Amino acid sequence: MVDEEQRLAALTQLGVLDTPPDERVDRVTRLAKEMFGVPMVSVTLVDRDRQWRKSQIGLGGIEAPREDAFCDYTVRQSRMVVVEDAAADEEFAANPFVAGDPHLRFYAGHPLYAPGGEPVGTLCVIDTVPRRFTPSQGELLRDLASWVQAELSRDEELDHAEIIQRALQPHRLPRIPGYEIAAGAAARGRLSGDFYDLVPRDGALRVTLADAMGKGAGPAIVAAGVRASLRTAPGRTLAEAVAGADRLVEEDLGDTGMFVTAVHADIDTRSGGIELVDAGHGLAIIVRADGGWEHLRSAGLPLGMGTGEAAEREPVSAALRPGDCFACSSDGLLDVLDPADPFADFARLVREHGPDGAVRSAIALMRDTRAADDITVVVVRREA
């Protein structure tokens, strides 16, 4: 039985209600939409008389009454709730959200828990047509909900581990004719496990940027292991390398709830072709020479949430034309960019300052603001 007053106190203590949009959470909702193929996704927090959406797609607003809400039912049950066809379900057929607008038929929601274990909200996927929901999809929804919980519960009490942080950074950047390469990282008095790596190999530049989630020195140790795994057997494909790192995190740390978001990419230094595997990171872009920019990502779960199969890590492809920049950051950069459109702001930094200037500007922004996390930035420009 859920203690409502204790639950509401935990929700208040979380300090998330009525806060601005957060790209860290938004990327989980985008990924859920792609992976489940549904038109509506929501990260919903259930307040005393309302449901407030920290992130949503397709629902048309950030707030709705709590009464009769499917998410309220899920929170009260404190378990995953799946309704494959609400119109045929006695519990929900007369629900006003089913009988009336928006005529919901399918709902799957997993509770989100506060650090003390109180159910404070849900991650839910919704459709207006009936759907089958398999056990493997249930496991996926559970994993994505765990990811959202980690993002909502971030705190400021991570240990200092500056020696490990420095050890994860390349001592020098590679020099490749026809390319300008810049990268940098800055700590904000704590260790998040960010790292980047740039390795020339067989006519390509292999670029890695990753962020191990969690508290204390543990993320740095995990990041070191992931970096070593991705560097092992350089002849492996991107998908094979990421699948191997996925198995490492899952097998060694699966019971800790720790996971790693990562971008692992090859840039063909002769043609400019890019292949990229995105493990839940979602923070890579191409800034075009004509001033435009493109989001570059694949739909993959973070390391430690997948199955360790290369088939699930197929890369996406793009072309880096003369004058274009490939740019990627850790999510600490989101703290200092325009929250209304952080990717456009990131593209502006790259466009206006070039690779080295963009890296220096990002680090300067962190030092000039109250950024909550470390920042790591990599920019590679193909010369015109």
- How far apart (Å, rounded) are the C-alpha atoms in residues 132 and 141? 14
- How far apart (Å, rounded) are the C-alpha atoms in residues 204 and 328? 17
Q: What is the largest CA-CA distance in the chain?
A: 68
In CATH, what class is 4-152? alpha beta
User: At residue 127, what is the residue type?
Assistant: D
The CATH code for residues 162-382 is: 3.60.40.10
pTM of the model: 0.69
Please give the chain's pLDDT, 384 residues, in tens: 788 999 999 999 988 999 998 888 998 999 999 899 999 999 999 999 999 999 999 998 999 999 999 999 999 999 999 999 999 999 999 999 999 888 999 999 999 999 888 999 999 999 999 999 999 899 889 989 988 988 887 643 333 344 444 555 677 899 999 999 999 987 665 455 688 999 998 899 999 999 887 545 566 667 777 887 887 767 889 999 998 888 888 776 666 667 889 999 999 999 999 999 999 999 999 999 999 999 998 778 899 886 677 777 889 999 999 999 999 999 888 888 888 899 999 999 999 999 999 999 998 887 777 666 778 899 999 998
The helix/strand/coil state of 140 is helix
Contacts of 277 (CB under 8 A, 6+ apart): 238, 239, 242, 263, 264, 265, 298, 300, 313, 314, 315, 316
Contacts of 348 (CB under 8 A, 6+ apart): none
Lookup result for tokens 């080295």: 356
Q: Where are the domains of the chain?
A: 4-152, 162-382
